[in-house]
Amino acid sequence: TAGPLQYSPAFHASRDGVKFQTELKRCLLRPTGFEAVMRVRCTRGLRIANFYGNFFIRGTDLLALPNCHPDNSFAFDIVHDDAVLATNLVSVQAALLYTTSNGERRIRVHTMAIPVTQIAGEVVKSVDVDCMCNIMARQSLDVALKSGLEAARHKLQTACVDMVRGSQPGGQMAPGMHGQPYGQPPMGAAAQQQQAPPALPDALQ
């Protein structure tokens, strides 16, 4: 349905009632588009490898969205087959065709021109941290569903270590990472394992 899933563990009206009311009101009153499709294109030589989000894939670059709204977010991996991109800029374009609640058929197009660099440090400095964490969480969830939590945890840890290595001159680890075993979590998310809540009830697994 392309809709979200709201989960309130151990729901109690006196504690969670206001939060539930706010979320429900937002869900009912926010601007919503219907019967939508979204197509993502990119510069020749690049291709989209994976999509992440709530949708139905109708083609290699076409997503079917029964509904869409301002709170939707979608992520995707872009890869290139050539060893080096022979361009200074790459372009990514997303076009959304949808029907408003008034029955109007509309299209919205977003285009980004992104500079290309061979210096890993420049990439790291330009990273949107919130966006990066979002897509890494989605990638890890995708791995967890296919290969289990251990594989997802390893992918997340490896990605963090690779980013730290890539941001340092000569690929050296940052000062705070020296002596850190490769298999140990380099970020707080993995460290929260010790404080993890009890296992989900059988009905929710």
Q: What is the residue whose two structure tokens read 């109007």?
A: 104
Between CA 201 and CA 198 the distance in angstroms is 9
Q: Is 201 helix (H, G, I), strand (E, B) or coil?
A: coil
Q: Is 38 helix (H, G, I), strand (E, B) or coil?
A: strand
User: Quick one: CA dihedral 129, 55, 37, 59, positive or negative?
Assistant: positive
User: Residues 45-81: pLDDT tens digits?
Assistant: 888 888 988 888 888 889 999 999 999 888 998 888 7
Q: Around Cβ 65, how many Cβ atoms within 10 Å?
A: 24
Report whether pLDDT(175) > 50.
no
User: Domains in the chain, start-ordered, CATH in brackets?
Assistant: 1-116 (2.60.40.1670), 118-189 (no CATH)
116-147 residues labelled b (16+ CB within 10 A) or e (exposed): eeeebeeeeeeeeeeeeeebbebbbeebbeee
Report if pTM > 0.95.
no
Average pLDDT score over residue span 190-201: 49
Q: Around Cβ 176, how many Cβ atoms within 10 Å?
A: 9
